[in-house]
Amino acid sequence: MKTFLYVLLGSLFVLGTSTLALSQSTPCPAPYEEKNGIVVIETENLGLPSGWQKKTAVGGYTGSGYIEWTGAENFSRTGVGLIETTVKINRTGEYIFQWRNRVGKGNSLTEHNDTWLRFPNASDFYGEKGSRKVYPYGTGKSPKPNGAGGDGWFKVYFNAGQAPGTGPGRPLLDCLTPCQYETYFNESAMAA
């Protein structure tokens, strides 16, 4: 059974998380906690490092605003402008990571829309489309996606929905191949 881990994030971000194995009784000082298989995180409420700004000018956001990267371009560099939070996972199992995003500048569907994602200590972390799975570079698992990556980071490409078979704001991996990003927790865990 797959559980949806809904994380609603603003435009053009870099997110890094890690997991620590916990017993059911271990206290977890997490600001976010999975309930009934769902976690919702509004990143505009998180502490933002330099380069990020909370904004409200563009409609369609779900919380009190959205975040926008205003720093230098980091086309192939991971871990810059890192946003981290802690999530307590109560139910073991497979979680699907989904978030909202948009093309951050201009009208080109292939520019200003990349993000990075990682769960370095999850039991398993991959992108999936149908029966095909790809693993981030640096995990020792295969097959790998096309494009950049390293140290367990997935480069996630977003498309505004103009490519065949894609929907608004759906994440893409492997150059226009829509994928879900999944992580598996084999026991209660804290993603930090």
Residue 5 lies inside a defined structural domain of this protein? no
Tell me the three state secondary structure of residue 44.
helix
Residue 11 lies inside a defined structural domain of this protein? no
Cβ-Cβ contacts under 8 Å for 54 (sequence gap 6 or more)? 44, 48, 65, 66, 67
Helix (H) or strand (E) holding 128: strand 124-129
Residue 182 lies inside a defined structural domain of this protein? yes
- Going by C-alpha positions, the residue among 2, 16, 8, 49 that lies closest to residue 121 is 16
Domain with 122 in it: 110-164+175-192
pLDDT score for 176:
32
> Structural domain tally of the chain?
1
Please write the tens of the pLDDT for every residue from 95-148. 777 777 777 777 776 677 677 888 766 778 888 877 888 888 888 999 988 878
Dump the DSSP string for 133-157: EE--TTSS-SPPPSS-EETTEEEEE
pLDDT score for 181:
56
Residue 126 lies inside a defined structural domain of this protein? yes
- Phi, psi at residue 21, to the nearest 5°? -70, 135
Residue 103 lies inside a defined structural domain of this protein? no
Average pLDDT, the chain: 69
Residue 80 lies inside a defined structural domain of this protein? no
Residue 41 lies inside a defined structural domain of this protein? no
| Report for 8-17, 88-97, 142-151: range of highest mean pLDDT | 142-151
Residue with more model confidence, 46 or 173: 46
Say yes or no to pLDDT of 24 above 70.
no
Residue 13 lies inside a defined structural domain of this protein? no
Query: CA 83 → CA 43, 47, 58, 178, distances in Å?
Result: 8, 8, 21, 24
Please write the tens of the pLDDT for every residue from 141-163. 999 888 788 898 888 766 555 43
